[in-house]
Amino acid sequence: MGKKQKEKEEELIEETNAENANAEFEQLQGELALQKDKYVRLMAEFDNFKKRTAGEYAKMIEMANKNLVEDLIEIRETFQKALSAESDTSAFKDGVALIYTKFDEILAKHGLENFGEVGDDFDPSLHDAMMKQASGEIEEGKISQIFQKGYKLKNNIIRHAKVVISSGVGA
C-alpha cells in the first residue's frame, strides 16, 4: 500500500502538473493572440496616419501654390491690359516698369530674394565664378560683373549667381 499510494500520488502530481501546464499554455496563447491583435491594430493605425499625413502635406503644397498663382493672376491681367491698350511707347514702357515692380513685390512676398551685386564679396557657396578679370574700380576678390542674378527662396538657394570676379587693378 505504501508503494502503490506513492505511485498514485506521483500520478496525481503529474496530472496536476500537466493540467497546470496546459492551463498556463492556453493562457499564454490567449495573451499572444491579444498582443498580435494589438500589433495588427497599431500597424493599421500607423498606416492610416501615414496616408493622412501625406494627404495633408499634398494639400498644404497645393494651398501654397494657390496663393502664389492668385497673386500672379493680377500680374497676368495687368499685362493683358497693357498689351491691349493703344498708347505711346513711353507710357507703355512706364506701364511695363510698373508691372515689373508689382511682380517683384509678389515674388518677395512669397519669400523670393535675389542676390549678387557688383562690389559684393565673392562667396563660392552663393556665386558661380565665370571668370576672373582685371578691374580699375573693383578690388580683388569682389564681384565686378553679373551674368545672372542668384535667387533664394526663404533662405534656400534655388539658383547661384553667375559672376565675374575682379583680380584687382591692372592684374
Mean pLDDT of 58-71: 82
Check pLDDT > 60 for residue 162. Answer: yes
Residues 6+ apart with CB under 8 A from 141: 121, 122, 165, 166
CA distance 113 to 127: 14
Domain boundaries defined on the chain: 1-110, 114-171
3-state secondary structure (DSSP) of residue 171: coil
CA distance 59 to 54: 9
Structure confidence at residue 56 (pLDDT) = 92
Q: Which three cell numbers stand for residue 108?
A: 518677395
Structure confidence at residue 16 (pLDDT) = 81
Mean pLDDT of 65-94: 79
| Bigger pLDDT: 86 vs 118 | 118
| Bigger pLDDT: 12 vs 153 | 153
What is the helix (H) or strand (E) element at residue 69, kind and residue range?
A: helix 2-84
Check pLDDT > 70 for residue 43. Answer: yes
Mean predicted lDDT score pLDDT of the chain: 86
Q: Choose the weakest-confidence range: 7-11, 70-74, 139-143.
A: 7-11
- Identify whether the C-beta of residue 126 lies closer than 8 Å to the C-beta of residue 161: yes
pLDDT tens-digit readout, 88-146: 777 778 888 888 898 889 889 888 999 989 999 999 999 999 999 888 888 888 999 99
Cross-strand pairs, 143: 165
What band does 44 get if pLDDT is binned at 50, 70 and 90?
A: very high
Mean pLDDT of 56-84: 82
C-alpha closest to that of 140 among 126, 127, 121:
121
State the CATH class of domain 114-171. mainly beta
161-166/150-153 β-pairing: unpaired
Amino acid identity for residue 151 in this structure: Y
CA distance 29 to 121: 72
- Identify whether the C-beta of residue 143 lies closer than 8 Å to the C-beta of residue 119: yes
- Positive or negative, the CA dihedral 154, 159, 162, 167 is positive
Check pLDDT > 90 for residue 7. Answer: no
